[in-house]
Structure 1
Amino acid sequence: MHMNQMDFRETARASSRILMDTSVRDTVPLLSIAIPTYKRFDLLAETLESVFALHFDFPVEVLVVDNDPSNDALALQEISRFRDHSFVYYKNIENVGMFGNWNQGINLARGKYVTILHDDDLLLPAFAAELNSRLLQPAAEPAPILAFQVVILDQRENRPQEIPKDRVVDAHALTAAPSKGLGKTRLKGTREFFFGNPFCGTLGVVMRRDLALSVGSFDPSWFPIADYEFWCRWVAAIGDIPIVSERVGLYRMRQNESMVPQTRSAFVTKSRELRSRMISEGVVPGFYSLLLSTSARVQKLMIDRDWLADGERIKRSSALAVFVWRCLVFSLTRLLPHR
């Protein structure tokens, strides 16, 4: 895929200052956990608590990148409870936007691997257990990118009854649950990514920092699917992404801008634009162009299902259309031979 986006090294011009540093810098971390944040100290505290409860067998750095240039006193007050833990708290000199702040987290990271953890999500003990096993393999170089499954923590006040109950979990019970060991792994390449983004933002995705830099930045012009666009660029440039079945995090759903009609519409229109680019650049078969309109319609149905208003129900015809589409996608991505 063409590299027409701005490279991470270009976005490095954005500067940050250190507000608090309790880290130990005598070793180079193998993993950086970068937490971009903006005016959500209550949720950030829960996120940090979940991170500091993990037990890694290798050096890890934790860095928070605050995209609010002001309110130093408030930030220091809110994060002072974590002074006994090792982390660095950065403040951006200027607000660089949501995706720009993700980029800044990677710019500032020192680890060979980096994961971007949203300031309202939580990591589970399985995250550390899986990485202890996979990043410290004695016989082989770890994969350049590792992705894991996560659990949806649906905390919307008026969550529709149509949403399956298994999406709502007891965070404390899941956090206390021990890891079941190495989960099964499935590779996903350009064909799978053409039909949708399997990730919840960046939660549970660990990638080599140097390769992330070489691929290029999260491009804000692709809002609200800049993460999806980045993964598509990764698989086209680097290769398939292994996704492990182990659940390693909690992805929080709350009332936010994803519910705004304009944003929901943009998910569909920008995804279609991205798929058209993948076809034109030859990273998926040309006949996929016949599926563009249908994929957009089904994506809208799925978004509407996830964001039903209280009391609304999913139409049977819509549910059937989604089921038939999934069967077609399964055939195209798993049964037909790849080039």
Structure 2
Amino acid sequence: MTSLPLVSICIPTYNAEAFIAESVDSALAQTYAALEIIISDDGSSDRTVEVARQLLDSKLDGKGITWQLNPHDRLGIAANWNHCISLARGKYIKFLFQDDVIAPDCVAKMVTLAEQDTEIGLVFARRNIINSDDTKLDQLYVDITQGWTNLSAIQSGRSLLADPKLLEAPLNKIGEPTAVLITKAVFDKVGLFDPNLRQVLDLDMWLRIMAQYKIGYIDETLAGFRVHRNQQSIQNAQSGASWIDDWRLQFKMLGDRSYSLLPPELKQTLIELCSSSISQTYKDLEGLRSQVADAYKQLEATRQRLQVEVEQLQEQNWQTTGQLNLAQAHLEQSQAQIAAMESSKFWKLRSTWLGIKRALGLPAEE
């Protein structure tokens, strides 16, 4: 009896406490027997490592499945994925992301297809969306495999690269790493995940694999991709990192040696798209420059108006201060006159006379 090839289920984590138990449980529920589980934690500050360790300790005892829990200092997304690969001993790499799940027969069905042809470098399947926050989703990104013109169980990756809809949305028509099985030897040929990318590093890898290998496809839903507000892809979109990544990938496809096998027609289409995007970006920048100029004019007008108001207030303040100083001088002068009168002989005689009148009972007005 032929032994089953080992599959390394790789779970890269970072602050994954919320969903890591569900993710690991789906790995432990696999019907495929020849497994190892690798969790590479990228410096989490929550209870990710503790939760994962307790789960693996309690559920793997006696099952014959080996596992590694490898916490380390922060490496970053791509470097942590690559670290998982370096730890893996299996013939196949099955990524399972910390928020996601895989069906119990996911690994078994993917390996069965991969073993049918030694030229297969990647197997992917459909995935559903687990919407944890009731986030509004574009239907285009729910069933991404419909973005292909044609899919077969086994086909040349270059035929997929020649698909006329390849560069249409959604660009990633394969899916997230949770929906993919990769032959580990592939990485020796096409390289590892690119640390210069943050959002489309998986798409970059799928394209490089398609250029040199056959691709397997299972027309079944074998994975669940979770969407929630705190996930990295949402943060990348909000920060603008996704937009920058798209540009980096396009220029990489045109000039990087790893894309030397791309069909010439695809490169020409990509050049046209890049030129169009650059022109549109230039127009957008011109529009923004005009808006900034208008805003500056408004700010300058406001500054000048406020400056006039400040100068007027200063003038009023100086006038008020002068009036107060004049009143103070008059008051001091009056006080000096009163003091002089009180100290004069006439004032003293007057005071004595008024005292005598009071003693005699006569009216004595001040």
Question: Separation in 2 of the partners of 1:166 and 1:225?
Answer: 14
Residues 119-170 of structure 1: per-residue CA shift (max 9 Å, x gap) = 1110013413413633565xx647332121211222234x23x7449959xx
Deviation at 1:241, TM superposition (A): 2.1
Question: Separation in 1 of the partners of 2:154 and 2:71?
Answer: 38
Structure of larger gyration radius: 2
Question: Separation in 2 of the partners of 1:278 and 1:166?
Answer: 28
Q: 1:219 to 1:267 in 2, by over 3 A?
A: closer
Query: Quick one: which amino acid aligns to residue 268 of structure 2?
Result: F
Structure with more contact order per residue of length (Cα contacts < 8 Å, sep ≥ 6): 1
Matched with 2:319 is: none
Q: How does 1:166-245 map to 2 (within 5 A)?
A: 167=142, 185=153, 187=155, 188=157, 189-192=160-163, 196-236=171-211, 238-245=212-219
Matched with 2:268 is: 287
Q: 1:282 to 1:167 in 2, by over 3 A?
A: closer
Assess if the C-alpha contact under 8 Å between 2:178 and 2:225 holds in 1: yes
Matched with 2:36 is: 61
* Among candidates 226, 246, 268, match of residue 246 of structure 2: 268
What's the secondary structure of 1:260's corresponding residue? helix
Question: Separation in 2 of the partners of 1:79 and 1:92?
Answer: 11
Flag the structure with higher helix content.
Answer: 2
What's the secondary structure of 1:131's corresponding residue? helix
Q: How does 1:1-339 map to 2 (within 5 A)?
A: 30-56=6-32, 58-68=33-43, 75-76=49-50, 79-83=53-57, 84-85=59-60, 86-131=65-110, 133-135=112-114, 141=118, 143-157=120-134, 159-160=135-136, 163-164=138-139, 167=142, 185=153, 187=155, 188=157, 189-192=160-163, 196-236=171-211, 238-256=212-230, 257-277=235-255, 281=260, 283-284=262-263, 285=265, 286-288=267-269, 289-293=271-275
Assess if the C-alpha contact under 8 Å between 1:269 and 1:296 holds in 2: no
Q: 1:220 to 1:141 in 2, by over 3 A?
A: closer
Structure 2: state its 5+ residue gaps: 144-150, 281-366
Deviation at 1:278, TM superposition (A): 7.2
Assess if the C-alpha contact under 8 Å between 2:40 and 2:84 holds in 1: yes
What's the secondary structure of 2:39's corresponding residue? strand
What's the secondary structure of 2:8's corresponding residue? strand
Question: Separation in 1 of the partners of 2:99 and 2:44?
Answer: 20
Query: Quick one: which amino acid aligns to residue 218 of structure 1?
Result: F
Assess if the C-alpha contact under 8 Å between 1:37 and 1:118 holds in 2: yes
Query: How does the TM-score come out when normalised to structure 1?
Result: 0.63
For these two proteins, the number of residue pairs brought into alignment is 251
Matched with 1:316 is: none
What's the secondary structure of 1:221's corresponding residue? coil
What's the secondary structure of 1:199's corresponding residue? coil
Query: Quick one: which amino acid aligns to residue 250 of structure 1?
Result: G
Q: 1:78 to 1:38 in 2, by over 3 A?
A: same
Query: How does the TM-score come out when normalised to structure 2?
Result: 0.59
Measured on the aligned residues, the alpha-carbon RMSD in Å equals 3.4
Assess if the C-alpha contact under 8 Å between 1:66 and 1:89 holds in 2: no
Residues 226-283 of structure 1: per-residue CA shift (max 9 Å, x gap) = 22222222222x2242332221100111113144141232243234323433798462
Query: Quick one: which amino acid aligns to residue 190 of structure 1?
Result: L
Question: Separation in 2 of the partners of 1:273 and 1:99?
Answer: 19
Query: Quick one: which amino acid aligns to residue 198 of structure 1?
Result: K
Deviation at 1:48, TM superposition (A): 0.5
Assess if the C-alpha contact under 8 Å between 2:114 and 2:216 holds in 1: no
Q: 4+ runs of 1 displaced by more than 6 Å?
A: 295-298
Deviation at 1:65, TM superposition (A): 0.9
Deviation at 1:118, TM superposition (A): 0.9
Assess if the C-alpha contact under 8 Å between 2:237 and 2:243 holds in 1: no
Question: Separation in 2 of the partners of 1:212 and 1:271?
Answer: 18
Q: 1:191 to 1:184 in 2, by over 3 A?
A: closer
Question: Separation in 2 of the partners of 1:272 and 1:92?
Answer: 34
